[in-house]
A and B are shown apart, each in its own frame.
Chain A
């Protein structure tokens, strides 16, 4: 399925876009659910919410959660078993991270097709962790009695709500940076659609 000269193997592209759909639905419907009983002193504008009212939002949320979880398992399973995650995202050395972060903040970090810099690596690992956290805290909120061990792990029902919100915020923050970077280097969007091509075929690999 994955050809060595592709930037993104087919499985990565498929799961990326299904994940994008699931997260868009869950995020926007989640904001409607938040607005029904805001945890903090603010609400979200209706223009960025999905579902129209609480009942509609919950129907979307509890439908898209299956897609998120199933797709995430495929994504993670493929990434771990194929070695794709290890090859692309590891290692992350603190020194590289500090250097790349400085270069990024001064807009001097070049884009290298097929190679992630240390800041990107940490962000991708971070968003995978945030998705895992949003799923676990979501399950704790959905089933605080049947999965009470999970609910207790987060400190009970009310604490789970806050964890779920923080994990959602981390994903939203990632999306903002992610989309900004795609806007700066639009060829990355093409690569995520077509698979793209590595600049140089790997040595000794038949193409």
Chain B
């Protein structure tokens, strides 16, 4: 999700370089930080890193407390839809996976009663809902889109998932991954989207399924999902391990 609508090559490059950093901040201290830390031993930036990580975990809890399972994200009119809707990933659009819908299966794991993989046809047979909501990127930009599909809460119930578990995590065909809290997974606007603007989800937007969560930042809306796990063990995610806040609620 990290690439803006018309990607600026330099931003993309900076993003990739940052990925090579093992730590949130090592090598990332600039003049601003030097000014602040004057008199401190800069070798200690691991300690700063640990402190910021701890505050980020505290922010996860603060956001979970602020989250309401019934408060809906604002919905928009068809005329408000951003056209063209931006493509976002950690790679350019040409490298987006091409998936054969007929062969695709959704693998299920963890605290789930019926773990048999699901086909696209099975998913299409479930009741479907639609929403026009604002996708907000962690970079700051936003875009309005229309997604349709199965409520995740319905699906979780259908497969006998233990909804007392803490996390639902997703693995994707492009090696992306992320995870969300159970309260958000059960929110009525959290859907396994199979359509965009009323037609089959295009490849650029995550065919065959994308998790649409209008109560979270864009990077918590994984595309090209191939596996879902219900678990009590913190699953993290692709961007989360580089330091993006895990909850990232809106």
Contact = CB atoms under 8 A, between A and B. Distances in A.
- Which of A24, A28, A53, A58 has the most chain B CB atoms closer than 10 A to its own CB? A53
A48 B67 CA distance: 35
A185 interface: no
Interface string A160-178: 0100000000000000000
B142 interface: yes
Contact of A49 (B15, B30, B74, B239): B30
- Which of A21, A28, A39, A161 has the most chain B CB atoms closer than 10 A to its own CB? A28
A51 B28 contact: yes
Interface string B237-250: 00100111100011
| Chain B contact residues: helix, strand, loop or mixed | loop
B142 A157 contact: yes
Given A62-B56, A145-B74, A53 B140 contact: no
Contacts of A153: none
A162 to B, nearest CB: 11
Nearest to A51: B28
Given A36-B11, A36-B140, A146-B66, A55 B242 contact: yes
Interface residues of B, number: 49
A143 B59 contact: no
B213 to A, nearest CB: 10
Contacts of B127: none
Contact of A54 (B25, B72, B139): B139
Nearest to A142: B250
A48 B24 contact: no
| Chain A contact residues: helix, strand, loop or mixed | helix
B68 A146 contact: yes
A50 interface: yes
Interface string B162-206: 000000000000000000000000000000000000000000000
Nearest to B29: A52
18 contacts: A33-B140, A34-B140, A47-B31, A48-B30, A52-B18, A53-B28, A55-B24, A55-B243, A56-B18, A58-B243, A59-B25, A59-B55, A59-B56, A62-B245, A143-B66, A145-B71, A157-B136, A161-B140
Interface of A: 21, 24-25, 28-29, 33-37, 39, 46-56, 58-60, 62-63, 66, 143-146, 148, 157-158, 161
